[in-house]
């Protein structure tokens, strides 16, 4: 996979990253900014609250930072009639 401008092997299917582009009046597109891995903290709203707490993000015991993040449909629970995941 190409990540942060180089080819890398990953143990995960996805990796975090964000890019910003600008399109001028002539239609030319410019890549103006990219950030990868921990450079995206400010975009994760929950971190703003975690950083105020006594234990902070509490990620020290995890296999990698943000190991706690899951897609809404990948928690292993059952989708209820209301569309919410209920963890068993």
* pLDDT per residue as tens digits for the range 35-75: 887 778 777 788 788 888 888 888 888 888 777 777 766 66
**Nearest 5°: phi and psi at 49?**
-80, -45
Exposure of 84 in the CB half-sphere (CA atoms within 13 A): 4
| Nearest Cα residue to 74 out of 26, 1, 13, 4 | 13
User: What pLDDT does residue 57 have?
Assistant: 81
Tell whether the model's pLDDT for residue 82 goes beyond 70.
Answer: no
- Predicted model pTM: 0.47
Query: Which CA distances in Å does 41 have to 24, 49, 66, 82, 84?
Result: 29, 12, 10, 31, 26
| Cβ 29 vs Cβ 36: under 8 Å | no
Q: Which has more pLDDT, 67 or 33?
A: 33
């Amino acid at each position: 996979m190409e990540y942060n401008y180089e080819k890398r092997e990953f143990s995960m299917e996805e990796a975090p990253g964000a890019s910003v582009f600008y399109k001028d009046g002539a239609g030319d597109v410019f890549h103006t900014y990219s950030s990868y891995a921990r450079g995206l903290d400010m975009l994760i709203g929950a971190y703003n609250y975690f950083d105020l707490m006594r234990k902070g993000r509490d990620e020290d015991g995890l296999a990698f930072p943000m190991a706690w993040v899951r897609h809404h449909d990948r928690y292993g629970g059952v989708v209820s009639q209301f569309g919410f995941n209920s963890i068993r």
